[in-house]
Amino acid sequence: MPLLLQALLLLMKHPKDLAIKDFTYELPEQRIARYPLAERDQSKLLVYKAGLIEESIYAKLDEFIPPETLLVFNNTKVVEARLLFHKPTGGSIELFCLEPHEQYGDITTAMLQKEKVLWKCLVGGAKKWKNEPLVKLINSDGNDYTLNAKRIEKINDYYLIEYSWNNASLSFAEVLHHAGAIPLPPYLNRNVEESDKERYQTIYAKYDGSVAAPTAGLHFTDTLFKKLSDKNIKRDFVTLHVGAGTFKPVKSNTMQEHEMHAEFIDVNKTLIETLVQSLDKDIVAVGTTSMRTIESLYWMGVKIMGGENQNDITLTQWEAYELATANISAKEALLALLSWMDERKLDRLITKTQIIIAPGYTFKIATGLVTNFHQPQSTLLLLVAALVGDDWKKIYEYALTHDFRFLSYGDGCLLWGKERRE
């Protein structure tokens, strides 16, 4: 790396020093979409490229993406993570399933557990819950069985809960499907309705594990997929199970005091190979979760090349910035990751990432992003600002003044990065 570039990097403000108040805007309540449109791909689409803004709809997304571009989707599936138990005394306790205990290694394994499982949960009405087990009667295919919840211990702001059920044929994912409710984002301020079971899932959702939808993908339909394929726009999938931390507000003055949520990723070896083959073309992440996943893969490869504790390639919050002085190309890093997987005879990479992408970050894999409009002072808005620079203000101002609908069920945008990848 040239000495001048190294000096400039040292002079740049580290994302730790960013003040979250600089990433806010006024979001009127009436701009928040409480419900999705009747047709997924009729949502409005803002297209940003090189400082210019166009307006269209998702059904015409193919018109704004070059042939041979690779679109990367997150195929995680939202689980019915809210469980309501009624006490014999008449009170109610709500358990919100966050993530499995560390003993399972990954979410998919935990979701497939039979008869018993340990889960980290938020508890609504915890003060009313002594130590008695909670019991919920469930009906599955005409057969009744019971789901029990036992409080094991309190850890920080969550509880470790042991769930057990007396139907050995059902996995925990199936139990949640019968007993739980979809956890809509809190800012929708409404109860779950029957239509949400379908509309708060992407049409390609496959692997149970998220407590929030990768909402950028909610706009895609089979018709749109065909139009993209007809133009030779390719697609592939990663799995990042979205945790409740995605809604965690930034309460600290600077980002240094904010703890980014860690999330499970599950990536096939073939996806990494496809990324390598696509590095001379555009790679567009559909959603911030897909973006965080593919960018994390680069830094995991860099860690491997660094030779430190190669059995642990999990990515912590600020690690990408600490490793940024390494002059390693995207191809080198991804090939190192593939070699690491080959040595361990792995076809899937299952690990955790806590990466925070904020202004000051240099994108290594992605050149563009399809995403919804995010809350003020959120880590998701920081990611957008990292991609387009200060123009995020112009983009959001345009959306607010041109009747775009915001947040999970709202409209979205196609954003091209301000710089090409290195």
Confidence class of residue 90 from pLDDT cuts 50, 70 and 90? confident
**What is residue 402's predicted lDDT score, i.e. its pLDDT?**
98
Q: Which amino acid is at 122?
A: L
Q: What is the pLDDT of residue 249?
A: 64
Specify whether the backbone of 226 is left (phi greater than 0), alpha (psi in -120 to 50) or beta: alpha
Confidence of residue 369 (pLDDT cuts 50, 70, 90): very high
221 and 140, same domain (yes or no): no
Return mean pLDDT, the chain: 91
> Band of the pLDDT at 142, cuts 50, 70, 90?
confident
Q: Going edge to edge, which strands form the sheet with 234-240? A: 52-57, 44-49, 412-416, 368-372, 283-286, 70-74, 234-240, 263-268, 348-353
- pLDDT tens column, 172-207: 999 999 999 999 988 898 999 999 999 999 999 999
Does residue 190 form part of some domain? no
> Do 116 and 51 lie in a common domain?
no
Residue 93 lies in a domain: yes
pLDDT at residue 6, rounded to an integer:
41
Which one of 117, 150, 181 terminates a domain? 181
Phi, psi of 16, deg, nearest 5: -60, -30
Domain co-membership, 333 together with 366: yes
Does the residue 21 lie in any domain? Answer: yes
Q: Are residues 30 and 107 in the same domain?
A: no
Does 109 share its domain with 205? no
**What does residue 35 show for φ and ψ, rounded to 5 degrees?**
-135, 155
Give residue-wise pLDDT tens across range 20-71. 899 999 999 999 999 999 999 999 999 999 999 999 999 999 999 999 999 9
Query: Which domain CATH number covers 277?
Result: 3.40.1780.10
CA angle in degrees (0–180, nearest 5) for 87-89-90: 70
pLDDT single digits (tens) 372-411:
999 999 999 999 999 999 999 999 999 999 999 999 999 9
Share of the chain above pLDDT 70, in %: 94
> Hey, is 11 helix, strand or coil?
helix
Which domain range does residue 137 map to?
81-181
Q: What pLDDT, on the 0 to 100 scale, is given for residue 308?
A: 66
191 lies in a domain? no
Domains held by the chain: number: 2
Residue 379 domain flag? yes
Q: Are residues 250 and 362 in the same domain?
A: yes
Is the same domain home to 72 and 215? yes
Task: Say if residue 258's pLDDT is above 90.
Answer: no
Rounded distance, CA 230 to CA 107, Å? 35
Query: 400 with 283, same domain?
Result: yes
Same domain for 73 and 173, yes or no, is no
Does a structural domain hold residue 192? no
Query: What proportions of the chain, in percent to the nearest 5, are helix, strand and coil?
Result: 35, 25, 40
Whole-prediction pTM: 0.91
329 and 283 part of one domain: yes
Q: Is residue 189 part of a domain?
A: no
Distances (CA, A) of 389 to 23, 47, 167, 287: 11, 15, 53, 18
Model pLDDT for residues 284-314, shown as the tens digit of each residue: 999 999 999 999 999 999 999 988 667 789 9
